Structure 1
Amino acid sequence: MKTLTKTFRMISGAAAPIALGAAALGVCATLSPAPVLAAPASSNAAKLDQAVKALRAITTLKADFIQRDRNGGQVKGTLTLKRPGRIRFEYEKSVPMLIVGDGKALTMIDYEVNQVQRWPIKNSPLGALLDPSRDVAKYGTVRDTGNPDVISVEVRDSEHPEYGIITLIFTRKASAPGGLELAYWVALDAQNTRTTIQLSNQRYGVAVGEDAFRWKDPRPRRRTH
Structure 2
Amino acid sequence: MKVTPMLRASVLTAALAGSLAAAQAQPLQLQPPKPVTAKPAAARPIPLPPARPAGLGQARTASNEASPAPAAAPAAAANPAPVAQAPRPESAKPVATPAKTKLPPPATQEEAIERLNAYLNSFTTLQGNFIQFANNGKRLEGRVYIQRPGKMRFEYEPPATTEVIADGTSVAVRDKRLGTQDVYSIGQTPLKFLLREKMDLSREGTITGASVDGDILSVRIEDRSTLGGTSKITLKFDLAANELRQWIVVDPQGYETAVSLYNLSLQRRADPKNFVIDYQRTL
Equivalent residue in structure 1 for 2:171, among 103, 106, 111? 106
Taking a change above 3 Å as real, the CA distance of residues 59 and 213 of structure 1, as seen in their structure-2 partners, is same
User: Which runs of 5 or more structure 1 residues have no equivalent in the other structure?
Assistant: 1-10, 32-40, 175-179
What does residue 167 of structure 1 align with? 234
Counterpart Cα distance in 2 of 1:217 and 1:28: 38
Q: CA deviation at 1:13?
A: 1.7
What does residue 29 of structure 1 align with? 46
What does residue 162 of structure 2 align with? 97
Equivalent residue in structure 2 for 1:141, among 188, 197, 207? 207
Taking a change above 3 Å as real, the CA distance of residues 217 and 121 of structure 1, as seen in their structure-2 partners, is closer
SS at match of 1:13: coil
What does residue 97 of structure 2 align with? none
User: Which runs of 5 or more structure 2 residues have no equivalent in the other structure?
Assistant: 18-43, 49-105
What does residue 13 of structure 1 align with? 3
**Which amino acid in the other structure matches residue 15 of structure 2?**
A
Counterpart Cα distance in 1 of 2:182 and 2:268: 29
SS at match of 1:211: helix
Q: Deviations over 1:111-169 (max 9, x none)?
A: 11111111111111112211284573321527343436322222223576714122111
What does residue 90 of structure 2 align with? none
* Structure 1 runs, 4 residues or longer, greater than 6 Å off: none
Which has the larger share of strand?
A: 1
Which has the larger share of helix?
A: 1
Higher mean C-alpha displacement, 46-55 vs 13-22:
13-22
Q: CA deviation at 1:76?
A: 0.6
Equivalent residue in structure 1 for 2:187, among 122, 129, 138? 122
**Which amino acid in the other structure matches residue 103 of structure 1?**
G
Counterpart Cα distance in 2 of 1:16 and 1:193: 8
Q: Deviations over 1:38-59 (max 9, x none)?
A: xxx9711111011012111121
1:63 paired with 2:128, answer yes
Counterpart Cα distance in 1 of 2:178 and 2:8: 20
- Number of residue equivalences: 197
Rg larger for: 2
Counterpart Cα distance in 2 of 1:16 and 1:70: 9
Q: TM-score, normalised by structure 2?
A: 0.60
Taking a change above 3 Å as real, the CA distance of residues 110 and 18 of structure 1, as seen in their structure-2 partners, is closer
Q: TM-score, normalised by structure 1?
A: 0.74
Taking a change above 3 Å as real, the CA distance of residues 24 and 68 of structure 1, as seen in their structure-2 partners, is same
Equivalent residue in structure 2 for 1:188, among 250, 258, 261? 250
After superposition, the CA RMSD in angstroms is 3.3
Taking a change above 3 Å as real, the CA distance of residues 15 and 120 of structure 1, as seen in their structure-2 partners, is farther
Contact 2:153 2:163 in 1 (8 A): yes
Counterpart Cα distance in 2 of 1:102 and 1:191: 27
What does residue 218 of structure 2 align with? 152
SS at match of 1:95: coil
SS at match of 2:158: coil
Q: Which aligned pairs between 1:177-216 and structure 2 lie closer than 5 A?
A: 180-214=242-276
Taking a change above 3 Å as real, the CA distance of residues 214 and 49 of structure 1, as seen in their structure-2 partners, is same
SS at match of 1:162: coil
Higher mean C-alpha displacement, 118-127 vs 156-165:
156-165
Taking a change above 3 Å as real, the CA distance of residues 158 and 43 of structure 1, as seen in their structure-2 partners, is same
Taking a change above 3 Å as real, the CA distance of residues 96 and 203 of structure 1, as seen in their structure-2 partners, is same
1:82 paired with 2:73, answer no
**Which amino acid in the other structure matches residue 29 of structure 1?**
I
